Structure 1
Amino acid sequence: MEIQKLNWAGIKLIFNNKTILIDAVEDFSYYKPVLGDAVEQVITFSDHLKADYILFTHLHLDHFDKGVIKKCLKQDGKLIVYSELEPWVRKHVENVEIVVLNLDETFTENGITFKPVFAMDGVGEIQSSWIVEDATNKIFHGGDTIWHNQFWRLGKENKDIDYAFLPVNGVVVNFEIIGLEYSPVPASLNLKEAFAAAHLLHAKKLVPIHYGLFTHEKCYIPQLFNGNDLERVSEEVGQEYMVLKDGEMLMEI
């Protein structure tokens, strides 16, 4: 198994010698008016990376990059899509084999099982989380979900999650510029919520995603934290974690 953290919420998995991308994004320029400029160098990978499977949690363009699909998906690769998103995906993506799954429905190929599960989007749009597993590894990817009441069920029904990739920036958004009324309630999990969610999922480790790369003083205001905060909340909740920087890899035999 190999896991690489990409930009923002993106990850690359290699299970059974097959490459899987989840929420892999290279081009964030469309959201610059509300996200601001990236505060660190964005990783480029699409010129050399070819994927057997591509998944995404929802259609926000910091999670869904048509350019990555076009450049990275192998000719015989598959785009795996939550059924509620299928109509929109087919409008934007052509000449690609699409596997459509309902919530909690599974698709297994090459010894790898994919399953979309319940998530709740921060601004009310359609979103799923993903569980991907092979015979020895299982990961949970939570996109930019907010807190919801299904983490208990998901933890009971999906045993032995090794790594839970969950958003942690607890961001308050002000997207009135695109017609969305302002709310002071965070639109993604904050740090403590992410640790609690990973604990309810019984994940061996939380891996924080969706933080650090973007901030905008008016439109996109994340919760800030540091290493001491991670240690404190980890001990308080009783949940282990590990930090992967953008581009960093985790390899296990």
Structure 2
Amino acid sequence: MEIQKLNWAGIKLISNGKTILIDAAEDFSYYKPVLGEAVDEVIKFTDKVEADYILFTHMHLDHFDKSVIKKCLKKEGKLIVYSGLESVVRKIMGDVEMVVLNLNEVFTENNIIFKPVFAMDGVGEIQTSWIVEDLHSKIFHGGDTIWHNQFWKLGKENENIDYAFLPANGVVVNFEMIGLEYSPVPASLNLKEAFVAAHLLHAKKLVPIHYGLFTHEKFYIPQLFDQEDLQKTSKEIGQNYLILKDGETLMDS
């Protein structure tokens, strides 16, 4: 499996000649008033990618970018959708072929296995995590899940995860403008929680995602970390990790 880190929480997988996008986003302009300006260059990939399958964890526009679906999904490609999100996705992308899955339901095609599993959204909306597996590699993608009590169960039920892509910015959000009272409790995993979650998933390596690109002094305040924090937390938890920069590719066989 070839794995490429895209912007923010997005990744691209190539397996058995098929291209898979998860939480792939290129246009963050709608959320600019909340997320602020991107602090690094947003990589452009939609002109070069033709996807056979597109998955997303939830409907926040920094994870669900309909322009990516329109530009990248092949005519015969499939949008793989968690059943809890089916109705809203059909209103937006009704003309796209969809494979709709319940939690823990498996879809297999081209020797690739897709499975949505439990996640918990930081502001109470519907979210899932995804497990994607081929004959050589198995990845877990956690969107921007918060800490929850199912990581133990997920680790027992889904063995041999190679890479756990988990959010790590522990962001505190102020979304009073859309009617949510302010809370200082993080709305995604922080660095230590990401390491512990990967450990409970028995993942060979944690790959942090959903960090570093956005910050807003009033509305979107992430917890920052550096290489020293990564090494210290890895040693404390006993969990290996891998940092992939946006655009960087990992060949896993």
Counterparts of 1:100 and 1:142 in 2: how far apart (Å)?
A: 19
Counterparts of 2:249 and 2:13 in 1: how far apart (Å)?
A: 10
Moved more, 3-12 or 174-183: 174-183
Q: Deviations over 1:140-194 (max 9, x none)?
A: 0000000000000000000000000000000000011222111000000000000
Q: Deviations over 1:34-66 (max 9, x none)?
A: 100000010111111000000000000000000
Q: Deviations over 1:69-123 (max 9, x none)?
A: 0000001000000000000000111321000000000000000000000000000
Residue 72 of structure 2 corresponds to which residue in structure 1? Answer: 72
Instruction: For 1:45-56, list aligned pairs within 5 A.
Output: 45-56=45-56
Instruction: For 1:78-97, list aligned pairs within 5 A.
Output: 78-97=78-97
Residue 203 of structure 1 corresponds to which residue in structure 2? Answer: 203
Counterparts of 1:45 and 1:206 in 2: how far apart (Å)?
A: 24
Counterparts of 2:15 and 2:156 in 1: how far apart (Å)?
A: 24
Residue 132 of structure 1 corresponds to which residue in structure 2? Answer: 132
Q: Secondary structure at the match of 1:192?
A: helix
Residue 57 of structure 1 corresponds to which residue in structure 2? Answer: 57
Counterparts of 1:177 and 1:41 in 2: how far apart (Å)?
A: 28
Aligned residues: 253
TM-score (norm. length: structure 2): 0.99
Q: Secondary structure at the match of 2:64?
A: coil
Counterparts of 1:206 and 1:91 in 2: how far apart (Å)?
A: 35
Taking only the aligned residue pairs, the percentage that are identical comes to 79
Residue 99 of structure 2 corresponds to which residue in structure 1? Answer: 99
Residue 184 of structure 2 corresponds to which residue in structure 1? Answer: 184
**Is 2:29 the partner of 1:29?**
yes
- Paired letter, 2:12: K
Counterparts of 2:3 and 2:137 in 1: how far apart (Å)?
A: 11
- Paired letter, 1:147: W
Q: Give the unaligned 5+ runs of structure 2.
A: none
Counterparts of 2:34 and 2:178 in 1: how far apart (Å)?
A: 9
Residue 227 of structure 1 corresponds to which residue in structure 2? Answer: 227
Backbone CA RMSD of aligned residues:
0.6
- Paired letter, 1:150: Q
Moved more, 175-184 or 145-154: 175-184
Counterparts of 1:48 and 1:17 in 2: how far apart (Å)?
A: 15
Q: Secondary structure at the match of 1:3?
A: strand
Residue 248 of structure 1 corresponds to which residue in structure 2? Answer: 248
Counterparts of 1:29 and 1:99 in 2: how far apart (Å)?
A: 29
Q: Give the unaligned 5+ runs of structure 1.
A: none
Counterparts of 1:217 and 1:40 in 2: how far apart (Å)?
A: 17
Counterparts of 2:17 and 2:174 in 1: how far apart (Å)?
A: 42
Kept in 1, the 8 Å contact 2:137–2:252? The answer is no
